[in-house]
């Protein structure tokens, strides 16, 4: 009887990995939607009149509401209301935001009274971009909330087990979402009537993701019932205290939290904004290749991360060395952006482009695989949801500002570019932008991330945080 009381649903490998698959598939669809328009920058400029500034503003909108406090609220909701409520809410917000964005880029919106009204103010940005940005803001709130909810769910279901490997596999599945959308987005745009085709397709997938999380919620409710039953059967009183708003002060006073958060924002500011412009950068630096060809090259970036991340997670579970992996990832990031800035435009080498994309993917596996499993080592489980959300909040400040910065710099640094001026005057669909300055900015973020990673390793050695130690006990 005692053995039965001790056996929980997540003690069965098939059940905990099924739970992982359900939440990971939701994030897979979410990551597809995040980058559904990234390979279509030239197309949306031609179809809807979005300038680089407008595209950069649209890309930043995903993070705007998160920066102004929503992620802090999301962390409180997660720790107060639990995984099931927060996950269902976040998945619903992703779908609603996606539906608004789909309408904004659809033929139904073009020529409508709403478009005319939106075009009547802030005339430098098309009405379709404004409405798409609103939808992307709502989606972004749901997506970031979902990401932290999934991280806490995995920490709960895999506590004392293969936690880093599970987080690595979840991230790998999400990265494959980026790979797949870079592969199929230009194709869907060609077959389904332009930009609206792939956006509508991904919006439908998000509805499936919502259903997936509801199924996971049923499993999680069963696990909670078992945990309560164990406590009741043992006759012991739990010493776990309920989350209080004042607990946020514990997080804000933690130097370890701030070092991890700053490292996160610096590193991801050179990754996610780059994804928005990466395909177009390859078009320009490989002498005007098609958008579809550029997307087919860039799609290998997340594949490098997807293939390696689970193995790195397993290594972390068994051997540790998380802080060292953060340093290696930041170093590779710097090298890749400098290659894109200087060597690729000089050589127009497809081999170099593919190789650099894959190495960037390796960097993108090293840092997240080490970063996210490190948070439970420095933050108490009771406030873990808020800690993840506060890290995401700091990260979102950079992710909101950097795309606007890159879009503005790309436009201003090419204002006197003869090739750009000639292409616009001739009405050409392809605009050959010079990406040197934006890529140098991305490399500078990498240098700053490397310095913070070196400090974090020294801080870990001093305070024995356990970042270099294995996760499995």
Average pLDDT over residues 158-171: 80
Residue 83 included in any domain:
yes
Residue 285 has a pLDDT of 92
Residue 221 included in any domain:
yes
**How do residues 209-230 score in pLDDT, each as one tens digit?**
999 999 999 999 988 888 777 7
Residue-wise over 15-47: b if at least 16 C-beta within 10 A, else e?
bbbebbbbbbbbbbbbbbbbbbbbbbbbbbbbb
Domain count, the chain: 1
Classify 470 as helix, strand or coil.
Answer: coil
Residue 2 included in any domain:
no
Average pLDDT over residues 341-356: 93
- Using the predicted structure, report yes or no on whether residue 308 has a pLDDT greater than 60: yes
Question: For residues 39 and 200, which has the higher predicted lDDT (pLDDT)?
Answer: 200
Q: How confident is the model at residue 234 (pLDDT cuts 50, 70, 90)?
A: low
Question: For residues 377 and 331, which has the higher predicted lDDT (pLDDT)?
Answer: 331
Residue 123 included in any domain:
yes
What range defines the domain where residue 113 resides? 11-236+244-463
Question: For residues 238 and 390, which has the higher predicted lDDT (pLDDT)?
Answer: 390
Q: How confident is the model at residue 41 (pLDDT cuts 50, 70, 90)?
A: confident
Q: How confident is the model at residue 309 (pLDDT cuts 50, 70, 90)?
A: confident
Q: Worst-scoring range by mean pLDDT, 107-116, 227-236, 280-289?
A: 227-236
Q: How confident is the model at residue 471 (pLDDT cuts 50, 70, 90)?
A: low
Question: For residues 10 and 360, which has the higher predicted lDDT (pLDDT)?
Answer: 360
**How do residues 423-446 score in pLDDT, each as one tens digit?**
888 887 788 999 999 999 999 999
Question: For residues 374 and 29, which has the higher predicted lDDT (pLDDT)?
Answer: 29
Q: Which long-range contacts (CB under 8 A, 24 or more apart) does 238-247 make?
A: 240/382, 241/382, 243/76, 243/79, 243/80, 243/382, 243/383, 243/386, 245/76, 247/79, 247/382, 247/383, 247/386
Residue 399 has a pLDDT of 81
Tokens of 67: 């920066």
Residue 264 included in any domain:
yes
Cα(107)–Cα(109) distance, integer angstroms: 5
Residue 353 has a pLDDT of 93
Other residues' Cβ atoms within 10 Å of the Cβ of residue 411: 17
- Using the predicted structure, report yes or no on whether residue 239 has a pLDDT greater than 60: no
Q: How confident is the model at residue 203 (pLDDT cuts 50, 70, 90)?
A: very high
- Using the predicted structure, report yes or no on whether residue 3 has a pLDDT greater than 50: no
Residue 399 included in any domain:
yes
**How do residues 320-329 score in pLDDT, each as one tens digit?**
788 888 999 9
Q: How confident is the model at residue 472 (pLDDT cuts 50, 70, 90)?
A: low
DSSP at 240: P
Question: What percentage of the chain reaches a pLDDT higher than 70?
Answer: 93
Residue 88 has a pLDDT of 95
Residue 348 backbone class (left: φ over 0; alpha: ψ -120 to 50; beta: rest): left
Average pLDDT over residues 242-246: 63
Q: How confident is the model at residue 86 (pLDDT cuts 50, 70, 90)?
A: very high
Residue 97 has a pLDDT of 95
On average, the pLDDT of the chain sits at 85
Residue-wise over 169-181: b if at least 16 C-beta within 10 A, else e?
bbbbbbbbbbbbb
Q: How many Cα atoms are found within 13 Å in the side-chain-facing hemisphere of 43? A: 23
**CATH number for the domain harbouring residue 284:** 1.20.1250.20
Residue 450 included in any domain:
yes
Residue 469 included in any domain:
no
- Using the predicted structure, report yes or no on whether residue 392 has a pLDDT greater than 60: yes
Average pLDDT over residues 348-358: 92
pTM of the model: 0.71
Q: How confident is the model at residue 369 (pLDDT cuts 50, 70, 90)?
A: confident
* The most confident of 55-69, 172-186, 210-224, 355-369, by mean pLDDT: 210-224
- Using the predicted structure, report yes or no on whether residue 6 has a pLDDT greater than 70: no
Instruction: Give the angle 330-358-405 at the CA atoms, nearest 5°.
Output: 55
């Amino acid at each position: 009887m005692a053995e039965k009381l001790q056996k929980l649903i997540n003690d069965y490998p098939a059940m905990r990995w099924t739970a992982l698959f359900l939440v990971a598939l939701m994030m897979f669809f979410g990551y597809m939607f995040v980058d559904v328009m990234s390979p279509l920058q030239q197309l949306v400029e031609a179809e809807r009149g979005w300038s680089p500034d407008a595209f950069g503003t649209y890309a930043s909108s995903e993070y705007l509401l998160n920066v102004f406090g929503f992620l802090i609220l999301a962390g409180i909701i997660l720790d107060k209301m639990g995984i099931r409520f927060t996950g269902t809410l976040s998945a619903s917000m992703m779908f609603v935001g996606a539906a608004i964005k789909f309408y904004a880029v659809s033929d139904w919106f073009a020529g409508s009274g709403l478009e005319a009204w939106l075009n009547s103010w802030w005339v430098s940005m098309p009405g379709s971009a404004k409405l798409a940005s609103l939808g992307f803001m709502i989606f972004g709130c749901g997506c970031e909330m979902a990401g932290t909810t999934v991280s806490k769910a995995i920490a709960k279901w895999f506590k004392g087990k293969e936690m880093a490997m599970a987080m690595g596999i979840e991230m790998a599945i999400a990265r494959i979402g980026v790979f797949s959308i870079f592969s199929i987005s230009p194709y869907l745009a060609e077959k389904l009537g332009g930009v609206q085709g792939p956006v509508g397709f991904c919006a439908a997938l998000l509805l499936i993701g919502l259903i997936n999380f509801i199924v996971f919620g049923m499993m999680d409710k069963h696990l909670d019932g078992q945990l309560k039953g164990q406590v009741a059967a043992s006759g012991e009183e739990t010493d776990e205290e309920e989350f209080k708003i004042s607990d946020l002060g514990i997080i804000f006073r933690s130097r370890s939290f701030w070092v991890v958060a700053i490292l996160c924002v610096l590193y991801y500011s050179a990754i996610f904004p780059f994804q928005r412009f990466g395909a177009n950068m390859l078009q320009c630096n490989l002498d005007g290749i098609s958008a579809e060809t550029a997307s087919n090259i860039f799609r290998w970036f997340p594949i490098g991360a997807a293939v390696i991340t689970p193995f790195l997670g397993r290594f972390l579970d068994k051997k540790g060395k998380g802080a060292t992996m953060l340093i290696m990832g930041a170093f590779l990031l710097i090298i890749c952006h400098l290659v894109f800035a200087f060597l690729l435009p000089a050589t127009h080498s497809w081999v170099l482009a593919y190789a650099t994309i894959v190495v960037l993917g390796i960097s993108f596996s090293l840092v997240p695989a080490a970063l996210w499993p490190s948070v439970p080592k420095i933050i108490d489980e009771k406030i873990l949801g808020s800690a993840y959300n506060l890290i995401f909040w700091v990260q979102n400040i950079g992710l909101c500002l950097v795309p606007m910065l890159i879009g503005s710099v790309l436009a201003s640094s090419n204002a006197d570019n003869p090739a750009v001026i000639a292409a616009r005057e001739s009405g050409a669909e392809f605009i050959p932008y010079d990406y040197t300055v934006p890529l140098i900015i991305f490399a500078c973020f990498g240098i700053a991330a490397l310095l913070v990673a070196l400090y974090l390793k020294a801080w870990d050695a001093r305070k024995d945080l356990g970042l270099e130690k294995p996760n499995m006990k």
